[in-house]
Amino acid sequence: MGYSDVYAAWQADPERFWLEQAEAIDWDEAPSKALFDRGDHLYDWFADGKVNTCWNAVDRHVEAGRGEQTAIIWDSPVTHTKRWITFFELRNRVATLAGALRAKGVQKGDRVVIYMPMIPEALEAMLACARLGAIHSVVFGGFASHELAVRIDDAKPKAIIAASCGIEPGRIVHYKPLLDGALDQASHKPDFCVIFQREQEVAELTPGRDVNWHGFQFGVEPAECVPVEGDHPAYILYTSGTTGAPKGVVRPTAGHLVALNWTMKNIYNVEPGEVFWAASDVGWVVGHSYICYAPLIHGNTTVVFEGKPVGTPDAGTFWRVIEEHGVRSFFTAPTAFRAVKRQDPAGEMVKDYDLSGLRAIYLAGERADPDTIEWLQKTTGKPVYDHWWQTETGYTIAGNPVGIEPLPVKIGSPTVAMPGYDIRILGEDGHEVPDGELGAIAVKLPLPPGTLPTLWNAPERFRKSYLDHFPGYYETGDAGMKDEDGYLWIMARTDDVINVAGHRLSTGGMEEVLAGHPDVAECAVIGVKDDLKGQLPMGFLCLNAGCDRPHEEIVRECVARVRDQIGPVAAFKLAAVVDRLPKTRSGKILRATMAKVADGDEVRTPATIDDPAILDEIRDAIRPLGYGGTRVSA
Ligand code: COA
Ligand code: AMP
């Protein structure tokens, strides 16, 4: 069957399609049916089945006689370490960790926050939670204490599992003080914290609260897998929305298992036993789905890479890992290859490695620019597949179904809708626009298995953010179009979310931080183009009347404030003081117009603007930052 047959089979009978895919999963109790309609456009999948994620990701491979297969390869150029963990070892390690968590009271439904770098123990912590039916929430290491505190207060974890430190090129990220800072700020206090001490830094434990990762596992009974209902949350992953309060995306257990397992062959084209590598971080959805869960569920070996595309030690690192570990499918964000290309424009380092085992390269997380795709195709000789998805869905909405049938690549398009997704391009009036016309990208409900059924603690926000605008559809927050061949083109976000080095960030969240500066009366943050990271945040600050402090000083403080409160990952370094912000007559800040001014794009002065002269003031203010003129690519 080709792609169109498979898509048509799904369309003809979605429930049957997904029940067939569900046969690849080990159930404690099979679900009586696939789709459960809760009314009011809310749905669950496989809700009355009983299943355990850890069993499916780990134990069943041991039971099937594959215990000696490597489950995790840890390759850490920043610590000059490599490690191989078999499914058998992984099962024992995870069962013991789960036993220790259980002995300290963690049970099904309890939340556990995980704050760890790219080490195998991060995956083990996730799987140990899954084993108990506890709901983990991993927080990316590049977030500062305040962001961690916000997540702790929302998830209200019984326990926190953290490492003593992370390692960024040239510096150690001291996790323990960041964790302590977060717990000082948070109203919720966990019962205990587990600290994994790394060789690079041994943190001082807080008596009465912290336990040592190794010590607390000593002599405990290993835990068995606890079957949970199909709609039981597997995890919560916070992602950026319009405001500073992150959205807690809930991942339902059974649909997650079924859908992720399906993607490994049909999209990433790997067979069980082969090596799959996603170079991302466990703190992001790519890390959840494609470093931890999907490869393990499907019986693949997953690579956990603690390093960067460049500088650890050079721009050949990716190729070295692919050759050394026999990677068959490789997935990362375009920004990572832009970094490689910048250092090795002729692709000389590619030639130093044998990439014959690699079948294809997959890109997602941000728009894949044609230059990067073409450079990759030329230097590696491999197919390069863009695919589009979001934290909310957990896997591909539109991609190239390579394992079914590779479709012709149109550079700039992530290809076509995957089975499960009925993608429509809607105009403001909610009607479909003709092919080739730009509109809001929406997915007809119900969304397929594994996608978010709600937001943690925020069912109303879920409805408002995704369901209300186009009744009967899920609003993706992206704008784009479909062409006459059904290929999708993703053009821009329709909200205040920006994408910096493949990291999803909220400009609204940054504005909230800037507005807290005592000298700032009003502010705006926009995303401006950047050759390496795709976008960068840029802040505009209007100061309180009478403030006569040097502007550079205030800008410096604002930059430090965002780093301190959101974290280094915000990459907030560009800001300018302006007298006023461009607004409509009704007072709405014209952020999209400001972004065009900054990027040097053609600007049509909006008819509703209060005073067109402000745009020139904005342009003048950001010229010293290298923006606002005709852009010259680096
Ligand atoms: N813990 C602590 N700090 C972190 C961090 C982590 N896990 N990850 C990043 N940071 C810090 C960086 O050290 C940097 O700090 P600095 O301002 O002191 O230099 C800052 O956050 C910004 O990071 P980033 O935007 O990633 O820039 P970079 O210059 O360190 O690296 C790339 C640029 C392109 C090499 C890098 O972004 C990359 O490898 N991206 C791959 C894409 C990816 O993983 N996307 C995830 C979704 S698929
Ligand atoms: P995240 O939830 O962090 O995965 O970010 C999801 C957002 O990243 C999407 O809504 C898009 O705006 C953007 N994105 C992800 N993949 C792509 C892609 N292949 N092309 C264009 N934009 C993408």
The answer on pLDDT for 631 being more than 80 is: no
DSSP 163-230: ESEEEETTEEEEHHHHHHHHHHH-S---SEEEEE-BTTBPPPP-TTTEEETTGGGTTPPPPPP--EET
501-625 CATH fold: GMP Synthetase; Chain A, domain 3 (3.30.300)
Please write the tens of the pLDDT for every residue from 302-324. 999 999 999 999 999 999 999 99
Please write the tens of the pLDDT for every residue from 114-123. 999 999 999 9
Rounded CA-CA distance 286/601 in Å is 32
Please write the tens of the pLDDT for every residue from 580-630. 999 998 899 999 999 999 999 988 888 888 888 999 999 999 999 999 986
Please write the tens of the pLDDT for every residue from 256-279. 999 999 999 999 999 999 999 999
Query: What does the pLDDT read at residue 604?
Result: 86
Q: Evaluate whether 396 touches 373 at the Cβ level (below 8 Å).
A: no
**353 phi, psi to nearest 5 deg:** -125, 155
Find the 517 Cα to ligand 2 centroid distance in Å.
31
The answer on pLDDT for 533 being more than 50 is: yes
Q: Which residue has the tokens 């859908």?
A: 259
Helical H runs in 362-503?
370-380, 459-462
Find the 365 Cα to ligand 2 centroid distance in Å.
4
Rounded CA-CA distance 537/443 in Å is 29
Query: What does the pLDDT read at residue 608?
Result: 84
Ligand 2: which of 478, 494, 495 to mutate, judged by most atoms within 8 Å of the beta carbon? 478
Find the 304 Cα to ligand 1 centroid distance in Å.
16
Query: What does the pLDDT read at residue 607?
Result: 86
Query: What does the pLDDT read at residue 633?
Result: 46
**Interacting residues of 221 by C-beta distance below 8 A, sequence separation 6+:** 99, 103
Ligand 2 atom nearest the C-alpha of 499 is 8
Ligand 1 atom nearest the C-alpha of 532 is 34
Residue 527: strand pairing partners = 537
Helices (runs of H) and strands (runs of E) counted in the chain: 19, 31
Confidence of residue 244 (pLDDT cuts 50, 70, 90): confident
Residue ranges around ligand 2 (CB below 6 Å): 239, 285, 364-368, 386-391, 414, 477-478, 490, 493, 499, 504
The answer on pLDDT for 632 being more than 70 is: no
Find the 308 Cα to ligand 1 centroid distance in Å.
8
Query: What does the pLDDT read at residue 161?
Result: 98
Domain extent listing, the chain: 501-625
Ligand 2 atom 6: the closest Cα is on which residue?
A: 390
The answer on pLDDT for 634 being more than 90 is: no
